[in-house]
Amino acid sequence: MNSIVKEKRYISERLGIPYESLSQSYLRAETELLTTSKIDFTLQRNKANATTVTERLLDLNDEFVITHFFVGLKATGNDGVATDENHLRAVVNTYESPAIYNATNADVIYNSNLNFTIDRTEFIPQYPVKAFRRVPFQQLTEYDLTGMQFPLGHNGFTNGLYGFANSEPTLINGRQTLDLSVDLDSSVAINVPGNSGTGVYAVFEARGYLVVNAK
Amino acid sequence: MNSIVAEKRYIANKLGVPYESLSQSYLRAETAVGTQSLVDFTLQTNKVLAPTVSERLLDLNDEFVITHFSVGIKNVTDATDETQQLKANVETYDSISFGNAGSDYTRFQQMRIASIYNGDLSFTIDRTEFIPNFPVRAFYRVPDALEEAGNTFTAGIPSVDSDGAGGNASSVYARLAQTETSLFGFYPSEPTKIDGRQTIDLSINLGSNVDLTPSIGTNYVVFEARGYLITNAND
């Protein structure tokens, strides 16, 4: 049968979670990029001060099995005061699209590493962020060469897991101590408020299965 | 054997439906959108006042097994015109069908209708959450060849025709967005049986009110499920 059935069977056997409790789902955490050497992501709602409308975080009683993960970039076009609509209309990019990030240093994340610690145990000590970089054949350009204002183009996105990397199926929950960060190892002014590359965010997304009726 | 036989065998064994009762089919529900934070879909005929001509809904005695699902967008100039509804392409990204002159589109912001791709899909069957949160971004596809508008014949502009002789600029026909496979824009689902009598709640949650209205016509969000209709389901 299809990939979903195979994944659910494996998770059920391996992690001892009832097959019928696994529902296809995702988590998404976002962090605004300013001047920093470390980009932290918060995956749990009770630890996030202010969430964006597009984040999907773990509630206290939630359990989630990660099967794929991804780090990307987005720009809201609005420095520090992005509205809900700005967030909803921003595309999550799989590379440092020059038409969007030209005035920023957002491309530095692709030479950094991702670290994921669960309950003080290093689940992923160092993972290259470059593994999530995808440069599509079709690319957004600011000016349309045919002389028409529209279309300005789009960045290609060719499958449902575009930009994702596989992960060992791993169970996390809303009560654990989760430390997830991208380490640059040097302080970089990724985006300076007020310039034209405004409101740049790093986006972490995990695909997998939410455990329903967990508690 | 091919994927259809494998799927039918699995469904017959797992759900106890006779193999010979499973017929390849689809469901399609469409919702016209305005300013809203939640986009609801109705999958059952008896709960829809006026379905569009292109919808395919469950009748009361129908049973259907979902194997793949998709969310797309479409635009029609006149929502009451059945021909237009039938001609409208369901797009997997905010193509030029949804606006013109870039008024609703910048390098930072996709068109408002494409806000749905940052929302999540929830699917509840008989008050039990089958899919609590699923990323609509999983259905987003931008193909290698994008939709492009054509240029109409322009008198008085010299050009060279294909035969080498001079003439006026000829028309350039519009290009359509590339569609790469029959399941382009779909995502696999755990095989799940639904029927026309269940309480089915299917919606996209945006988390905030967004104006999804186009400058021209009506925008629709389209949910499509592929799978198997169970024939001779009830006496």
Q: What is the mean pLDDT of chain A?
A: 89
Q: Which residues of B touch A86 (CB under 8 A)?
A: 108-109
Distance from CA of A26 to the nearest CA of B (A): 6
Q: What is the mean pLDDT of chain B?
A: 87
Divide the 215 residues of chain A into consecutive groups of 10 and give the mean pLDDT of each group: 89 92 95 94 93 95 95 87 92 92 92 95 93 93 53 83 94 95 95 74 97 69
Domain around A91: 23-211
- The residue of chain B nearest to residue A78, with distances taken between CA atoms, is B108
Note the pLDDT tens digit of each residue in B124-138: 999 988 898 999 999
In a domain, residue A111? The reply is: yes
* Contact between chains at B142 and A1 (C-beta distance less than 8 A): no
Dihedral sign, Cα of residue B62, residue B67, residue B70, residue B74? negative
Distance from CA of B126 to the nearest CA of A (A): 15
pLDDT score recorded for residue A32: 93
pLDDT of B172 over the 80 cut: no
User: pLDDT: is B100 or A175 the higher one?
Assistant: A175
In a domain, residue A122? The reply is: yes
In a domain, residue A44? The reply is: yes
Q: Which residues of B touch A100 (CB under 8 A)?
A: 107-108
Which of A8, A12, A24 to mutate: most B Cβ within 10 Å? A24
Q: Which of A84, A150, A160 sits opposite B207 (nearest CB)?
A: A84
Q: How many domains is chain A partitioned into structurally?
A: 1
In a domain, residue A57? The reply is: yes
Distance (Å, whole) CA A37 – CA A30 = 16
pLDDT of B205 over the 70 cut: yes
In a domain, residue A194? The reply is: yes
Quickly tell me which residue has 């639904």 as its tokens.
B194
In a domain, residue A41? The reply is: yes
Note the pLDDT tens digit of each residue in A54-111: 999 999 999 999 999 999 999 998 776 889 999 999 999 999 998 889 889 999 999 9
Using alpha carbons only, give the angle A99, A100, A103 rounded to the nearest 5 degrees. 95
User: pLDDT: is B162 or B96 the higher one?
Assistant: B96
Note the pLDDT tens digit of each residue in B66-94: 999 999 999 999 999 999 999 999 999 98
In a domain, residue A1? The reply is: no
Residue A109 has which token pair?
């994340």
Interface confidence (ipTM) of the complex: 0.87
- The residue of chain B nearest to residue A75, with distances taken between CA atoms, is B108
* Contact between chains at A210 and B133 (C-beta distance less than 8 A): yes
Distance from CA of A156 to the nearest CA of B (A): 5
Q: What is the mean pLDDT of residues B148-162?
A: 58
In a domain, residue A17? The reply is: no
3-class SS string, chain B: CCHHHHHHHHHHHHHCCCHHHEEEEEEEEEEEECEEEEEEECCEHHHCCCCCCCCECECCCCEEEEEEEEEEEEEECCCCCHHHHHHCCCECCCCHHHCCCCCCCCCCCCCHHHHHHHCEEEEEECCEEEEEEEEHHHHCCECCCCCECCECCEEEEEEECCCCCEEEECCECCECCCCCCCCCCCEEEEEEEEECCCCEEEEEEEEEEEECCCCCCEEEEEEEEEEEEECCCCC
Give A199's Cβ-side CA count (13 Å radius). 21
